[in-house]
Amino acid sequence: MKATDFNFANDLKFDLEKGMTTFKDNRLVIFDANAIGLLRESIIKELGMAKARDLLFAFGYQNGYADFLQMKVFYKFDSEMDLLVSGPVVHTWEGIVQASPKELTFNREKRTFYFSGIWTNSYEAQQHLSYHEYADEPVCWTLMGYASGWATAFFGSPLVAIEPLCMGKGDDHCEFVIQPPSAWGNEAKPYIEALKGLFK
């Protein structure tokens, strides 16, 4: 199947007798975005901005990594490219963000990887701005973590996603770039540090 053929609703099941919502036998819990935003803000107040960023980035990474493995097991895609770009499709279906890939190239033998795209209507940027003024750096921490985890699971070696543009900084939209840690400069250091112990 093509990445665009994926339909989240087809495999989403609601069992009212058990009080369970499942996707491919994995239990889902649905929360209001404002409730997640409140939890996010509570973490920031408790830990400070930097530690909250690290925690939420690592959380997103583990979520993305696990989601990729699930998609790889349960669905047969036409190509590796379709499997990879199904990540943005999943994110869009989940209501987290509207994700649109722009440029994608990779070479497993040379260990090169570059994936860029646009994020529109990021719930995380919207929630951040509900509590804070514009930031000096990207604020879609769970989104960047998710993209990092998804791409790392696909590629088999560490990859890091960072937003050159973010609505939380005052930009019109968010943009992501995913590439190996060695391809980044100092801007990637806190994110790489947050994933210590998670990179395989």
Query: Would you call 87 exposed, middle or buried from its count of C-beta atoms within 10 A (0-12, 13-18, 19+)?
Result: buried
Residue 117 backbone dihedrals phi, psi, to 5 degrees: -175, 180
Q: What is the pLDDT of residue 146?
A: 97
Buried b (16+ CB within 10 A) or exposed e, 123-148: bbbbbbbeeeeebeebbbbbbbbbbb
**Per-residue pLDDT for 15 more than 70?**
yes
Calculate mean pLDDT across residues 77-97: 94
Residue 31 backbone dihedrals phi, psi, to 5 degrees: -120, 150
**Per-residue pLDDT for 82 more than 90?**
yes
User: First CA to last CA across the chain, in angstroms?
Assistant: 29
**Per-residue pLDDT for 197 more than 90?**
no
- pLDDT tens digits for range 148-175: 999 999 999 999 999 999 999 999 999 9
Task: Indicate if the alpha-carbon torsion angle 104, 73, 61, 175 is positive or negative.
Answer: positive
Domains contained in the chain, CATH given: 3-194 (3.30.1380.20)
Residues 28 and 174: their CA atoms lie apart, in Å, by 27
Rounded CA Rg of the chain = 17
Q: At what angle do helices 141-155 and 123-131 cross, to 10 degrees?
A: 150
- What pTM did the predictor assign? 0.95
Reported confidence tier of residue 200, pLDDT bands at 50, 70, 90: low
Task: Indicate if the alpha-carbon torsion angle 142, 194, 66, 116 is positive or negative.
Answer: positive
Instruction: Say which residue the tokens 């540090």 belong to.
Output: 193
